[in-house]
Amino acid sequence: MLYMIYSTDVENSLEKRLSARPAHLARLTELQTQGRLITAGPLPAVDSNEPGEAGFTGSLLIAEFASLEDAKVWANDDPYIIAGVYSGSTVKPFKKVF
Protein backbone atom coordinates (compact mmCIF):
# COMPACT_ATOMS: atom_id res chain seq x y z
CA MET A 1 0.00 0.00 0.00
CA LEU A 2 1.04 3.60 -0.51
CA TYR A 3 1.85 5.89 2.42
CA MET A 4 2.37 9.62 2.70
CA ILE A 5 5.20 10.84 4.92
CA TYR A 6 4.96 14.55 5.74
CA SER A 7 7.94 15.81 7.72
CA THR A 8 8.37 19.23 9.31
CA ASP A 9 11.72 21.00 9.60
CA VAL A 10 13.00 22.65 12.75
CA GLU A 11 13.74 26.36 12.37
CA ASN A 12 16.98 27.25 10.58
CA SER A 13 17.44 23.70 9.30
CA LEU A 14 19.28 24.52 6.07
CA GLU A 15 22.82 23.79 7.28
CA LYS A 16 21.74 20.50 8.87
CA ARG A 17 19.82 19.61 5.70
CA LEU A 18 22.85 20.17 3.49
CA SER A 19 25.12 18.02 5.65
CA ALA A 20 22.66 15.10 5.85
CA ARG A 21 21.40 15.38 2.26
CA PRO A 22 23.65 12.72 0.65
CA ALA A 23 22.50 10.02 3.10
CA HIS A 24 18.88 11.17 2.80
CA LEU A 25 18.99 11.01 -1.01
CA ALA A 26 20.67 7.59 -0.93
CA ARG A 27 17.67 6.16 0.94
CA LEU A 28 15.26 7.74 -1.52
CA THR A 29 17.28 6.38 -4.45
CA GLU A 30 16.99 2.91 -2.93
CA LEU A 31 13.19 3.22 -2.79
CA GLN A 32 13.20 4.46 -6.39
CA THR A 33 15.38 1.57 -7.55
CA GLN A 34 12.97 -0.84 -5.89
CA GLY A 35 10.09 0.77 -7.80
CA ARG A 36 8.40 1.87 -4.55
CA LEU A 37 8.83 5.66 -4.74
CA ILE A 38 5.94 7.65 -6.22
CA THR A 39 7.22 11.16 -5.45
CA ALA A 40 9.40 12.98 -2.95
CA GLY A 41 10.62 16.50 -2.42
CA PRO A 42 11.17 19.42 -0.07
CA LEU A 43 8.74 22.22 0.75
CA PRO A 44 10.42 25.59 0.04
CA ALA A 45 9.98 28.23 2.74
CA VAL A 46 9.27 30.85 0.07
CA ASP A 47 7.44 30.77 -3.26
CA SER A 48 10.44 29.64 -5.29
CA ASN A 49 11.99 26.41 -6.54
CA GLU A 50 15.33 27.81 -5.35
CA PRO A 51 14.63 29.32 -1.91
CA GLY A 52 18.28 30.03 -1.15
CA GLU A 53 18.94 30.93 2.48
CA ALA A 54 15.19 30.85 3.25
CA GLY A 55 15.53 27.07 3.12
CA PHE A 56 12.70 24.61 3.53
CA THR A 57 9.85 23.97 5.95
CA GLY A 58 9.62 20.23 5.48
CA SER A 59 9.29 17.42 2.96
CA LEU A 60 6.66 15.20 1.38
CA LEU A 61 7.16 11.62 0.28
CA ILE A 62 4.73 9.08 -1.15
CA ALA A 63 6.00 5.53 -1.37
CA GLU A 64 4.93 1.91 -1.10
CA PHE A 65 5.49 0.01 2.14
CA ALA A 66 4.23 -3.35 3.41
CA SER A 67 2.37 -1.73 6.31
CA LEU A 68 1.77 1.50 8.18
CA GLU A 69 4.20 0.33 10.83
CA ASP A 70 6.92 -0.29 8.20
CA ALA A 71 6.37 3.22 6.80
CA LYS A 72 6.67 4.72 10.29
CA VAL A 73 9.88 2.79 11.00
CA TRP A 74 11.34 3.94 7.67
CA ALA A 75 10.39 7.56 8.39
CA ASN A 76 11.92 7.46 11.88
CA ASP A 77 15.23 6.15 10.48
CA ASP A 78 15.59 9.04 8.02
CA PRO A 79 19.00 10.75 8.17
CA TYR A 80 17.15 14.07 8.46
CA ILE A 81 15.52 12.85 11.70
CA ILE A 82 18.88 11.65 13.02
CA ALA A 83 20.59 14.95 12.07
CA GLY A 84 17.88 17.06 13.70
CA VAL A 85 16.51 18.53 10.46
CA TYR A 86 12.98 17.27 11.09
CA SER A 87 11.06 17.94 14.26
CA GLY A 88 8.86 14.98 13.36
CA SER A 89 6.89 13.18 10.68
CA THR A 90 3.27 12.31 10.04
CA VAL A 91 2.69 8.99 8.27
CA LYS A 92 -0.70 8.12 6.79
CA PRO A 93 -2.08 5.68 4.22
CA PHE A 94 -2.46 7.22 0.77
CA LYS A 95 -4.83 6.22 -2.01
CA LYS A 96 -3.66 7.26 -5.46
CA VAL A 97 -6.57 8.28 -7.65
CA PHE A 98 -4.75 10.25 -10.36
What are the tens digits of pLDDT across the range 39-86? 999 999 999 999 999 999 999 999 999 999 999 999 999 999 999 999
| Mean pLDDT for the stretch of residues 3-24 | 97
Every domain of the chain and the residues it spans: 2-94
Backbone torsion region of residue 51, taken as left when φ is above 0, otherwise alpha when ψ lies between -120 and 50, otherwise beta: alpha
What CATH code is assigned to 2-94? 3.30.70.1060
